Structure 1
């Protein structure tokens, strides 16, 4: 009788834990969709953005990233920064997507977007189901991200095809690995739902952009 009661209590605790995890995962994906909606609104408004504003906004976006990475106090305003970043990224992305749509053609464009989404899902599943603990990856990914930002800045002033190709490949691999890392964080419960939802949004949008850039480079 005691064993039955104990087993029932254990099952109830297990059920409650699973339910709690499911609710937490649900919040992550709600924030993921939420940031995509904000990005979509920004992207729609991007068609009205004057060309003269694009470069200053690009540098402002880069400055915002650097401030967030290196200034600890800025992280207190993460919810505000994430919204500003998403809106500005959307405004700038309209021209980017329009260019690739015209350059690649609608069929190739959407196939590459689909490929990027599939890659995001596959690497996410790897991080969630196949890797036990990917926490040690974080510091290496951060260093690679800094190196990528520096290389991208250099690439603005040095028009070297090899350098730009290397930036594309490293950037794609970096955000695929970040996808593994973030899904693994979700599995381990080491996350804030809003922050993780935003990170997953960033991973996917960057994967899509790098796939499109590589596809465009291969066609030339």
Structure 2
């Protein structure tokens, strides 16, 4: 009996140790993708304006291919790096515009607010939700709808329409954060993929919060 109890204890200790290592790798990949993004942002200041639209279209095509093609998902390592670099290149102009419209103080306050929201929803997903696996299919459908709405939005210059897209996008990536933290708790993840997912979640939350702040500032 004592031997069985010791074996169970050893098994649990090993499991907890392996889980801690996996979590550590997740955050290393999370930081890694932010570094790549930062490098892309730095070089984004040298990106000619004429390149921005083609790059944006190429990024949209990449997202669509990834969403609808299983083979593309299997090339996640390559695609995640391409995506991060291109997003970084394009983000320089976007964040510069937000900074100019909001002012430095309001800009950074909203970034801190976005990070705080990311942490809160992550903690809710990890500690308060038992099993959020059923959310996945609904989040994916909403993501596809958001991408389609974004494409339609290129041809519709209606402030209300774009505000709705911004609010839905913000809620979507907050819920994706909850969902991904819940997956971490249940051990249903690979460190690289999860690190990339959390990077994407936080990046989009920051962008949508800033976008919403700019729209409210214009009123």
Q: 2:25 matched to 1:38? A: no
Encode CA deviations 1:89-136: one digit per residue, 9 max, x unaligned.
000000011111111000000000000000000000000111111111
Q: CA RMSD in A?
A: 0.8
What is residue 157 of structure 2 aligned with on the other side?
159
Q: CA deviation at 1:162?
A: 1.0
Q: 2:120 matched to 1:122? A: yes
The 2-side partners of 1:199 and 1:29 are apart by 11
TM-score for both structures, normalised by structure 1: 0.97
What is residue 170 of structure 1 aligned with on the other side?
168
Structure 2 portions without partners, runs of 5+: none
Alignment of structure 1 residues 127-138 onto 2, 5 Å: 127-138=125-136
Match of 1:102 among 72, 80, 100: 100
Tell me the SS of whatever aligns to 1:157. Answer: coil
Q: CA deviation at 1:183?
A: 0.5
Q: CA deviation at 1:33?
A: 0.6
TM-score for both structures, normalised by structure 2: 0.98
Alignment of structure 1 residues 1-220 onto 2, 5 Å: 3-220=1-218
Tell me the SS of whatever aligns to 2:133. Answer: coil
The 2-side partners of 1:154 and 1:9 are apart by 59
Aligned length: 218
Q: CA deviation at 1:211?
A: 0.1
Tell me the SS of whatever aligns to 1:48. Answer: coil
